[in-house]
Structure 1
């Protein structure tokens, strides 16, 4: 059924990624007639994954991009700009969709139905009370108005629905969850796991990553099967082994008969009615016809992705909100965060030459945070902490680079895997700062006539000091394991490159210092909920998507209850 501008829907959801899919599912399953708006094109599960079965040799020059394509897709993650042809259709062309940078910010986007749920890394970790209490404890940012106990039931709900594989560890800094059987560590990773427990007395340990992949044969998941270990996830998984909006939450919403999905619809403003002190709808530009439309609803969920949602609020100006909707505090667009990473170590591992591995495991190991947790874990030069993600494999390519391997033994050499290599990168917590902000450009506009976002975000002393430890501790872990040729690295990149951008419409107790309340409602506009990364008040050091989903499910059920009680609209 096409979207009808003359209909007042129960709810509008802006965006179809990790958060938008969950909002649509929960609202529709609660009986709300819901219009879901996506600025990008339609992508249907399976039928719109054109490269899902391709191999690198199926492409000319093994898929390496042309010079022009490298400029347009210069921020592509997962291997840089080379050999990305099999996935580039799920990432934004930066030349067609520019933004401004007062300071460098790597904004990696996916404009299509499903958003970046089609390409995310699927690492799924719960926050803990240490994370939710950190701001209050050390005085950075504002206090979260919730604690782990408020969100734990919703973590349960989300994990059981999406299917998260992993193992429970009993750690205070990484709460246990509802897990499918864990993927397996290989022999080198198991060696490192055992060695760490022997050589460190600060509680650090290694486990397999917790990922949103089904790892058991089950009929509990409609139209989804277990992971096939192909590691072609970023192209779209035809088996539905990993969670995406396209394979899971959007179909669930559609099955209710309550969802109307409209792609190619850029939401650029939320309409505020001062006579009722509520939002009454959204203004949209159709990207195919350039027609300007308005859609009405009783409640609005903003899930466009953190920076896009902040941009929509900044553009939603009225007499009541001259500086953007909900910006009574002046904090809208401030306290932008990401995780800082691309720092760690690599090494060569002797031995295990009689062992290999089967399949292409779409996951690696994880070393949870082990600093600033009390006792001998405390650090004096920085606050909070970091975790490591990494993996070990047998190097079967470097022998083809050195000139010395060319000759009679080449044919034999390329048929045998090389030595074991291991590496890991740290993901560190990024503190909230008022002067790390995004604003609307006063000069430049996009092809739709809308002002560009201008990023002014940087790492500060705490992050730079933490990075020293992030590299040095990685080196120490490998050296104590007896690995050789250990090399640390710290690669320069801009905030945003971890693709965990957060903040800009932070949650808080006080309307004078925050934008949304504990239920994700804008303080001054209770029928607008912000449930993507924009509401984050601090960043923790773990991947944030599981937390977005838990808060979104919680907020959507809150909205449904309020509508049924007629306390919102």
Structure 2
């Protein structure tokens, strides 16, 4: 695959600028370039080209100096990133060095970042679920925060559009609150997962069990193969970068698609400092950029700007974009910029062991477990009086223990060695994902004095899980234990480690969509109400959080926003 074009034109003027190259930034670049716009993508971190810049993609733990763990020095560098549980010797290069890029926590906030071309699209969990009107109407129905300015019918065709390009493997269930999509064949469940499914669905009529809907090519289509993407090999080494392009990432899919139009320029090591605002026209004219290596500032110009830096980074840039017209941040007439931080809360559930199926095993390392859709607070019949909204189960599945069962065991000789190659017993875990409500006082602000090495005021986080989330966690844990017991598990234990907001790596809100400029930052087309040539399509735009993963929604909103922005009747209005 050809490397991405990094040549910047001498005039520094483009039709469009995209800030960020991750999930939404890659989609903005693809759509803008395919519509004929000369597009500059600004990326804060280093270049990462598909395949050639995945140094650990083929390594085993024994190939690494610390067998996959972090040494003391790296533990200090990644002291916040390690809160996610994802960072090790094989992946550390795709996560932010916390010492070099600090922030402050009034309350604990786990900001898990990847500053490089492709961003967190290299390391994401790949679960893709459509939202429904249960989600888009929840705020209005319950009198929480503000209403979404869109409904499912507005985004449904865009879900279909991005799903086909991305490649989502999954099973159709026919649920109104979890709409089916354009799916490739689903990944199979193993024998214990199938047993669990049978028993749970027999006991509970409203709890379907399926494989996770994930962005893995189980059956590549021609448009996937054209980009050099191939079938998933079940290696489960996704977060190291997939040399087969089997899972969706900006590096494997959207950026190469943009690159082949000859309309794309990617500028890595480019820290977006602020947007340039023209008081006379009421439009943004460009972006001030600090070179991350030389610290020199350069200005780039365009008539259309997409902010896709990730929710908190986008908000940092907008808050820092002050002018006479916008003393508190670009587009911040409502005062809502930086407020309403949301995420998903998880790391809560149960696990147990199972006696049986000793004569069965499974092939490969399937990169997706089972999924149990939301079944609480769907209607009056399923209403739980202790909390609003709901949860699902993912990050769950069954497997057999292996040679690690012999760690710290006393034994010598051939018989002991042979025992290490025999699979152990079956076990299974269920982990819940719950919705976080949009609380106005969960916020992020700019530090009044402290700046980072590139001259931007660092962010200060003041956000927490509140009683609604804590009450929900108790039910998630109890239900998980009950379902495992129904399926015949033994030695069941529950767990509850909430961490801080951000640990779900689905941070969103802070520049929410809405109908009224007095209570929101963006309109129903993801435009800043008062600066119509600036669009925000990353997680900052979200008005509520649902209980399912948001990335496919970011992608759909981005494609929809580009389509709106580039229609002839809208171009002049921008």
The TM-score normalised by the length of structure 1 is 0.97
**Map of 2:441 onto structure 1:** 435
Q: 1:60 to 1:251 in 2, by over 3 A?
A: same
RMSD, aligned CA: 1.5
**Map of 1:190 onto structure 2:** 194
Q: 1:5 to 1:382 in 2, by over 3 A?
A: farther
CA distance in 1, matches of 2:518, 2:560: 24
**Map of 1:144 onto structure 2:** 148
2:391 counterpart of 1:386: yes
**1:360 aligned residue (349, 362, 365):** 365
**Map of 2:282 onto structure 1:** 277
Is the CA contact (8 Å cut-off) linking 2:336 and 2:519 kept in structure 1?
Answer: yes
1:391-418 residue CA offsets vs partner (Å, 9 max, x unmatched): 1000114532464667774223201010
SS at the partner of 1:61?
Answer: coil
1:186-209 residue CA offsets vs partner (Å, 9 max, x unmatched): 0000001000111114x0121000
1:6-39 residue CA offsets vs partner (Å, 9 max, x unmatched): 3431110000000000000001101111111101
**Aligned-residue offset at 1:565:** 5.0
Q: 1:369 to 1:534 in 2, by over 3 A?
A: same
CA distance in 1, matches of 2:363, 2:571: 56
Is the CA contact (8 Å cut-off) linking 1:218 and 1:225 kept in structure 2?
Answer: no
**Aligned-residue offset at 1:76:** 3.7
Greater displacement, 393-402 / 175-184: 393-402
The TM-score normalised by the length of structure 2 is 0.96
**Aligned-residue offset at 1:526:** 0.4
**Map of 1:239 onto structure 2:** 244
**Map of 2:213 onto structure 1:** 210
**Map of 1:426 onto structure 2:** 432
2:551 counterpart of 1:548: no
CA distance in 2, matches of 1:374, 1:487: 30
**Map of 1:89 onto structure 2:** 93
1:117-164 residue CA offsets vs partner (Å, 9 max, x unmatched): 011010011101100000000011110000001000000001000100
**1:47 aligned residue (45, 52, 63):** 52
Is the CA contact (8 Å cut-off) linking 1:399 and 1:405 kept in structure 2?
Answer: no
Greater displacement, 73-82 / 2-11: 73-82
CA distance in 1, matches of 2:257, 2:292: 26
CA distance in 2, matches of 1:568, 1:280: 15
**Map of 2:3 onto structure 1:** none
CA distance in 2, matches of 1:565, 1:315: 28
Query: Which consecutive residues of structure 1, in runs of 5 or more, have no partner in the other structure?
Result: none
2:354 counterpart of 1:343: no
CA distance in 2, matches of 1:182, 1:326: 43
Q: Aligned residue pairs: how many?
A: 566
**Map of 1:229 onto structure 2:** 234
Query: Which consecutive residues of structure 2, in runs of 5 or more, have no partner in the other structure?
Result: 1-5
**Map of 2:489 onto structure 1:** 483
**Map of 1:558 onto structure 2:** 564
Is the CA contact (8 Å cut-off) linking 2:46 and 2:117 kept in structure 1?
Answer: yes
**Aligned-residue offset at 1:561:** 1.0
Is the CA contact (8 Å cut-off) linking 2:275 and 2:318 kept in structure 1?
Answer: yes
1:283-326 residue CA offsets vs partner (Å, 9 max, x unmatched): 00011221110011001000000000000000000000000011
Is the CA contact (8 Å cut-off) linking 1:344 and 1:426 kept in structure 2?
Answer: yes
CA distance in 2, matches of 1:460, 1:204: 27
SS at the partner of 1:160?
Answer: helix
**Aligned-residue offset at 1:432:** 0.2
CA distance in 2, matches of 1:157, 1:517: 22
SS at the partner of 1:345?
Answer: strand
SS at the partner of 1:111?
Answer: coil
Is the CA contact (8 Å cut-off) linking 1:5 and 1:293 kept in structure 2?
Answer: no
Is the CA contact (8 Å cut-off) linking 2:77 and 2:97 kept in structure 1?
Answer: yes
Is the CA contact (8 Å cut-off) linking 2:108 and 2:463 kept in structure 1?
Answer: yes
**Aligned-residue offset at 1:228:** 0.9
CA distance in 2, matches of 1:134, 1:81: 32
Q: 1:79 to 1:101 in 2, by over 3 A?
A: closer
CA distance in 2, matches of 1:385, 1:405: 48
2:265 counterpart of 1:260: yes
